[in-house]
Amino acid sequence: MAGGDISKIPFTVYDFFAYLFSGSVLVAAVDYLYSYQWLVQDKPKAVFIIFLLGLAYVTGHLVAHFSSLLLEQLLVDKVLKRPSRTLMGEPPPPFLRRIFPGYYSPLPQKTQERVKSQSEKRGFEGSGESLFLHAYPVVKADERVQRRLDKFHNLYGFARNMALAFMAAAALLAWYKWVGDRPLNSSWIILSTGLGIGMLYRYLKFFRQYSYEVLITYAEMPSPEIKET
C-alpha cells in the first residue's frame, strides 16, 4: 500500500517519553563510563543513530519492567501503602508521613463517606485496592473520565521510569568511582541522585492523583437503578 496510514504507527507519545527517555539515561551513563563516545560523534551515520534509538528504546522497556517491580510492587505496595488505602483514611507510619506528606493526604471525610455509600448501593463490600478495582471499570465507562485517567497513568509511568533510570545511573556512577581506573566527577552522581529522588516524588504525586480521580468520580456518580422484582 502506497503512502501508509500514520494512525497505524505502533508508537505513541508515551512510548517516546516513557521508554526512549528513560533508556537514554542509562545508555548515556554507560557511554560516559566506558568512553564509547556514542553520543559525541561529529557525523554519526543514519544506521548508527537508528541503532542507538533502538538500544535506548529496548533499555527503556527493561527500565519500565523493573521500575514497576521495585517502585510499585515493592516500595508502594509493601512499604508506603497504595493511595487507594491512604485516600480512604488508612493511617501511614508517622515517619513516612513526614517524608511524603502530600502522598498521605486523605480524602475529606464526607467524600470518603460518599465513596462508601456508593459502593454499598452497588452491592460491594470491599475496601482498599479491591474498592479501587471495583470503582475503576465503573468510572472509565465515561470516555472523558477515561481520557483524564490515561493522562495521569502516562504521567506516573513516565515519572516512575525516569526515577529508576536516574537512580540506576547514580548507582553505576558511584560503583565506577569506587572500582574504576580513572577519575570520575562526583557532581554527576549527585545530579543523578537528585533527579532520581525528584522524579520519585513526581511519580508518587501522579500515582496518588490517579486513584484520587477514580474515587472522587466514583463518589459523585448517579446512584445505580434498582430493578424491582
Q: Where are the domains of the chain?
A: 11-219
Residue 177 has which C-alpha cell?
568511582
- Kindly report the length of the chain: 229
How would you class 8 by CB atoms within 10 Å of its CB: exposed for 0-12, middle for 13-18, buried for 19 or more? exposed
pLDDT in tens, the chain (229 residues): 444 444 455 567 777 778 999 999 999 998 888 777 777 676 778 888 888 889 999 999 999 999 999 999 999 999 999 999 999 999 988 899 999 999 999 999 999 999 999 999 999 988 899 999 999 999 999 999 999 999 999 999 999 999 999 999 999 999 888 887 777 788 999 999 999 999 999 999 999 999 999 999 999 988 776 544 4
Three-state DSSP at 140 gives: coil
- Nearest Cα neighbor of 202 from 13, 145, 194, 63 is 194
- Nearest Cα neighbor of 88 from 215, 218, 193 is 215
Rg, the chain, Cα only: 22
Please state, in angstroms and rounded to a whole number, the distance separating the CA atoms of residues 208 and 222. 24
